[in-house]
Amino acid sequence: MSIQDVLKDGQLNEGASSAAIPAAIAVLGRSLPSDYLQVIGEHDGGEGFIGNNYLIFWSSGELATFNHEYQVEQYAPGIVLFGSDGGGEGYGFDTREASMPAVRIPFIGMNIRYATRVAENFNDLLVQLAK
């Protein structure tokens, strides 16, 4: 399932440049799941409804900035946020696990113990949100 198949009433950016993705990974200091990197290569950020859920996924250039501003490493070490629901919760990957499952975590009172596994990977997240 591609993001174009499930995103409704939204917009997708053009794909990231070939240099943008490695640069984002270098700044984050962590690898990211291959299915997510493929989506960023095709659409470097975007937002809209997927089913009844809203998803904002940040561009590769915003990843390090937003993770730093939300102080994710301090409050939820091992999580790398890649977007939000447009409200009070962020979406990220739990890099403490080799499979890097997608998690949801509140911005207010952010703590690793509140990270809820919502999907096995980015593509599975799209499927779950579309239900």
Distance spanning both ends of the chain, measured CA to CA: 13
Number of separate domains in the chain: 1
pLDDT average, residue stretch 23-32: 88
Q: Does the predicted model carry a pTM greater than 0.75?
A: yes
Residue that is written with structure tokens 């809209």 in the block: 48
Question: Domain containing 80: what range?
Answer: 3-130
* Distance of alpha carbon 7 from alpha carbon 121, whole angstroms: 17
Six-digit token string for 12: 């997708």
- pLDDT for 4 equals 76
Of the candidates 41, 111, 66, the one whose C-alpha atom is nearest the C-alpha of residue 32 is 41
Task: For residue 42, give the CATH number of its domain.
Answer: 3.40.1580.10
In the 8-state DSSP scheme, what is residue 33?
-
- pLDDT for 86 equals 95
Question: What would the DSSP string read from start to end of 27-68?
Answer: HHTS---HHHHHHHHH-SSEEEEETTEEEEE--HHHHHHHHH
- Highest mean predicted confidence (pLDDT) among 1-10, 25-34, 62-71: 62-71
